[in-house]
Structure 1
Amino acid sequence: MNKFLIALLFPVYCLAQIPAYYNTIDFSQTGNTLKNQLSTLITTTHTNELTYTPEVWDALKQSDLDPDNTNNVFLIYGYNDTDSNNDNDRTRNKNLSCHTTSCDGLWVREHVFPRSLGTPNLEYVGPGADAHHLRAIDSDMNNDRGNNRFADGLGNATVIAGGYFYPGDEWKGDVARMMMYMYLRYPTQCQAVIVGSGSATFSADMPNIFLEWNEEDPVSQYEMNRNTVLQNMQGNRNPFIDNPYLATRIWNGPEAEDKWGLLSNEDFVAENITLYPTLTTGIVYINNAQEAKSYTVYNNVGQLIKSGLTQNSIDLTNYAAGLYFIKISNEYSGKTFRVIKQ
């Protein structure tokens, strides 16, 4: 059977509070199953690959803006704008980017997943130009970080004995979520265990420090804004910014914040409702509904075309042939089914 048609036969869970970007994800799943679904999503929606020059420069001048002063960009790993040391600046004028060989006092582009640690090298295309892991950074701080692997620490960013780097208390969560994204987006080329040091006891493919940092340093408004800006440019999002608890569902470890307030709820999984047939000429039927349920029907571009209450069936007879998404909801959660109207 055609793989596309097979996929249509399986329901996915969806909640009103979960962004529509994730409508195709079955959040009742965990571990590798959920990881692979998210990997497919962020890959297929990555519809525009930025050029390293000039598009990444332009992206960072929008995505990395300080919301308190939009003339400035945040400098990753930076922590002090008031002392005499420019190297540790936290912000800088967005127009002070470096396009020469002399960059003192200017900012450059940081590959948070170092290019040289990729398997193979990330270069300056594809993963090397994916703005979800590129950040504005002071040029000297960039040199200090180099391609050092991340390790745990305390306080401000610093190089650690043994050739490791601690990104600082303010930035460690950002780093963790970027490394998780890169691993899902480029699973063989950007393995998290290559860039993160220490044990991987919660899950063999994710260093403990990233799961700990994800929980210890919650998502900031800056990260959320950045995620939306980059979706508008690249087409895809970083799921771990939208909900850090996804990392807990996939790799276990410390229980990170569930920003949707639903995935950690024991009542998350809906009743064992099924909908059939998924290839129909008009009527689709609901099975195992214990009472009338809310339903919503969306077309293939996400437009709401029908809604109501039903316990038995939904009539699509008067609608055009094509792909539809039907969501059946209860108090806590719901299932979304893909249906083809012939």
Structure 2
Amino acid sequence: MKKYLLLLLVAQLSFGQAGAPANPYYNGMNWTLTGINLKSALATKITTTHTITLTYAQAELAIETVDLDPSDATNTNLLLLYGFSNNLCPASSSDDKDHRRRDKSLEDAGTADPCLWNKEHTYARASGVPALGTSGPGADVHNLRACDKKRNADRDNDRFFDGSGNSFESGLLWYPGDEWKGDVARMMMYMYLRYGSQCLPTSIAQSGIPTVTNDSNMVQLFLEWNAEDPVSQYEDNRNNYLGNTSNTYAQGNRNPFIDNPYLATVIWGGPAAENRWPTVFLSSQSFISDSAVQIYPNPTNTNEIEIATEESISKLTLINVNGQIVKEIIKPIFNQNTYKINNLPQGFYFLQITAEKGNLTKKIIVN
């Protein structure tokens, strides 16, 4: 029992510290949705909350804040996308040997000096249909990263393909590097949801690579990268800054796939990515039908509900909108295929149902 309680406490702490639904950003989201329905709901969320449109100059200033190296206490060095040694610049306190960092003051101003950083449009501007330009999607900081000037030029408009090790080019294809492939995948997913057909994943990835079953625009490669390279503190810092409208160069919206990479798994399937909201999504890809479980009354005015199902239920977990477990019932005993939960406080809840055949989440309203 002590071990169980400790594990539960750790899970709750992890949930709160590493990607619980940002309150109130995700308030009102229906987490019972899956597949393309969830994709559409998230697309609406990140579009309607994108309330501040930055100019190209403002986006550049934003990069000098959001791309700071979290391990640098001086707040002077930027992490560089794709970065590793290009043998062009001497190692120094502001430009370390593998060229992952660069002093934020060393911004490219159009000179021939290669030891500078500039903006990388991770979804290349020319790959958009129409091209992204320098406003709107072309100035969306969720897609922009500080990058070594030479590495940026090497990548140019290359499409992404699979590889290993450091970033490298092969013909007109580009591998972002083991350290950065997850970042790239989550950015491509964001751009697809935010700008739709203008930023199709199939237009920025190697031609002919497999797509997913339920969405011919999404390539399996990005789902693999999303699972293989978990979210870093650097990504969290960017997301938190850009989503907070009180910040000088914020946009108001977030990248949901940074908040929880598992959202991509729920939408498109593929390898199970890191699930940062374990009390919202069970880490399983088996689901029982929504019609297999009935909840009534819902909404309820009596502080109680009844659950009716013929499925074999092993656990019921009631979660509030802040991700806190309100009730957890192990091996509930059903009477004539029904089970009653009473003494429910007023509020909005998610009921996770764990069954032998799979899992299901339903929303509950207690008036």
TM-score when normalising by structure 1: 0.76
Instruction: Kindly indicate whether residue 255 of structure 2 is the aligned counterpart of residue 246 of structure 1.
Output: no
What is the CA deviation profile of residues 154-178 of structure 1, one whole-angstrom value per residue up to 9, with x for unaligned ones? Answer: 21111113x1111111111110110
Match of 1:224 in 2: 236
Match of 2:196 in 1: 187
**Equivalents in 2 of 1:257, 1:315: separation in Å?**
32
Specify whether residues 313 and 206 from structure 1 end up closer, same or farther in structure 2 by C-alpha distance, changes over 3 A only: same
Residue among 199, 222, 228 paired with 1:210: 222
Specify whether residues 99 and 260 from structure 1 end up closer, same or farther in structure 2 by C-alpha distance, changes over 3 A only: same
Q: Secondary structure at the match of 2:76?
A: strand
Residue among 35, 38, 43 paired with 1:34: 38
What is the CA deviation profile of residues 283-307 of structure 1, one whole-angstrom value per residue up to 9, with x for unaligned ones? Answer: 57654258x99786x8xxx9xxxx9
1:43–1:185 CA contact under 8 A, matched in 2: yes
Match of 1:61 in 2: 64
Residue among 172, 194, 200 paired with 2:210: 200
Q: Secondary structure at the match of 1:273?
A: strand
What is the CA deviation profile of residues 221-248 of structure 1, one whole-angstrom value per residue up to 9, with x for unaligned ones? Answer: 1111211111121111111111111111
Specify whether residues 207 and 327 from structure 1 end up closer, same or farther in structure 2 by C-alpha distance, changes over 3 A only: same
Match of 2:48 in 1: 44
Specify whether residues 338 and 48 from structure 1 end up closer, same or farther in structure 2 by C-alpha distance, changes over 3 A only: farther
Residue among 106, 109, 120 paired with 2:130: 120
Match of 2:84 in 1: 79
User: How is 1:146-185 mapped onto 2 (pairs within 5 angstroms)?
Assistant: 146-161=156-171, 163-185=172-194
Match of 1:273 in 2: 295
**Equivalents in 1 of 2:345, 2:114: separation in Å?**
66
RMSD: 3.6
Specify whether residues 85 and 42 from structure 1 end up closer, same or farther in structure 2 by C-alpha distance, changes over 3 A only: same
**Equivalents in 2 of 1:266, 1:208: separation in Å?**
16
What is the CA deviation profile of residues 227-271 of structure 1, one whole-angstrom value per residue up to 9, with x for unaligned ones? Answer: 111112111111111111111111111121112223325899896
Identity %: 46
Specify whether residues 35 and 313 from structure 1 end up closer, same or farther in structure 2 by C-alpha distance, changes over 3 A only: same
Specify whether residues 313 and 73 from structure 1 end up closer, same or farther in structure 2 by C-alpha distance, changes over 3 A only: same
- Counterpart amino acid of 1:65? L
Q: Structure 1: which 5+ runs fail to align?
A: 1-14, 317-324
1:275–1:337 CA contact under 8 A, matched in 2: no
What is the CA deviation profile of residues 9-51 of structure 1, one whole-angstrom value per residue up to 9, with x for unaligned ones? Answer: xxxxxx9884133333333332111111111111111111111
Q: Structure 2: which 5+ runs fail to align?
A: 1-14, 245-249, 309-315, 328-339, 355-359
**Equivalents in 1 of 2:51, 2:235: separation in Å?**
21
1:273–1:287 CA contact under 8 A, matched in 2: yes
CA shift at 1:208, angstroms? 1.9
**Equivalents in 1 of 2:200, 2:297: separation in Å?**
39
Q: Secondary structure at the match of 2:266?
A: helix
Instruction: Kindly indicate whether residue 133 of structure 2 is the aligned counterpart of residue 129 of structure 1.
Output: no
Instruction: Kindly indicate whether residue 274 of structure 2 is the aligned counterpart of residue 264 of structure 1.
Output: no
**Equivalents in 2 of 1:90, 1:289: separation in Å?**
54
**Equivalents in 2 of 1:337, 1:235: separation in Å?**
29
1:293–1:311 CA contact under 8 A, matched in 2: no
**Equivalents in 2 of 1:250, 1:330: separation in Å?**
18
CA shift at 1:102, angstroms? 3.9
Q: How many residues align?
A: 304
User: How is 1:308-319 mapped onto 2 (pairs within 5 angstroms)?
Assistant: none
**Equivalents in 1 of 2:286, 2:224: separation in Å?**
26
Q: Secondary structure at the match of 1:28?
A: coil
Instruction: Kindly indicate whether residue 43 of structure 2 is the aligned counterpart of residue 24 of structure 1.
Output: no
Q: Secondary structure at the match of 1:159?
A: strand
CA shift at 1:104, angstroms? 2.3
**Equivalents in 2 of 1:103, 1:168: separation in Å?**
24
What is the CA deviation profile of residues 176-231 of structure 1, one whole-angstrom value per residue up to 9, with x for unaligned ones? Answer: 11001100111111001100114224342211211111111111111112111111
Match of 2:116 in 1: 106
Instruction: Kindly indicate whether residue 306 of structure 2 is the aligned counterpart of residue 288 of structure 1.
Output: yes
